[in-house]
Structure 1
Amino acid sequence: MELQLANIKEAQAGITKKDFVSKMSIVNKEARETKYWLRLLNDSGYFEENKKLLKEIDSIINILTKNIKALQKIKKG
């Protein structure tokens, strides 16, 4: 999840609002990929008891998605 934080820091330095939204969309995609890998690890039995992490990544994805949609509405409006 550190990768998402690094990408968020990069997005904060976005030159334009469009650039910021684009970078935050990348963060959202990276979070979804992280969720995939966590599920794969869990399903393989390699890494169990990660329900807390899956719940956290779901929360992060929800927050990112809502923020991106809100920013896109502001941009259009």
Structure 2
Amino acid sequence: MGKSILKDKSYAFAIMVVKLSQRLVSDKKEYVLSKQLLRSGTAIGALIREAEFAQSKMDFIHKMSISLKEANESLYWLDLLKDTDYINENEHQIHLGLNKELVAMLVSSIKTTKSRM
């Protein structure tokens, strides 16, 4: 996979999630939801990195599919944080935008790989 936009964006998203989680814990004393988002939001990029060294196309698809599931789960936690007033609409939109880009790119990557099998 090499240097890619998907890797860069997933890493940027992970950084945003870590910073948001740190702020939620320190400022709002919120531990449960922020930890869930931290886990799923950082897993996206980690799984993409794992996929770089997949043993086969099927292994690549599997790892990217799990990354897609983590991205979708992150959307849930972001929505829940907004709807429980832990983050405001602006913060939500910023995180949501990058997350949705990741979802679209992962779907595209999976479809492209499947079509080449």
Pairwise same-fold verdict (TM > 0.5) = yes
- Whole-angstrom distance in 2 between the partners of 1:2 and 1:27: 10
Equivalences for residues 1-77 of structure 1 within 5 A: 1-48=41-88, 49-75=91-117
RMSD: 0.9
Note the residue ranges of structure 1 that are not aligned, 5 or more in a row: none
Give 3-state SS (helix, strand or coil) of 1:50's partner.
Answer: helix
TM-score where L is the length of structure 2: 0.61
TM-score where L is the length of structure 1: 0.91
- Whole-angstrom distance in 1 between the partners of 2:63 and 2:106: 11
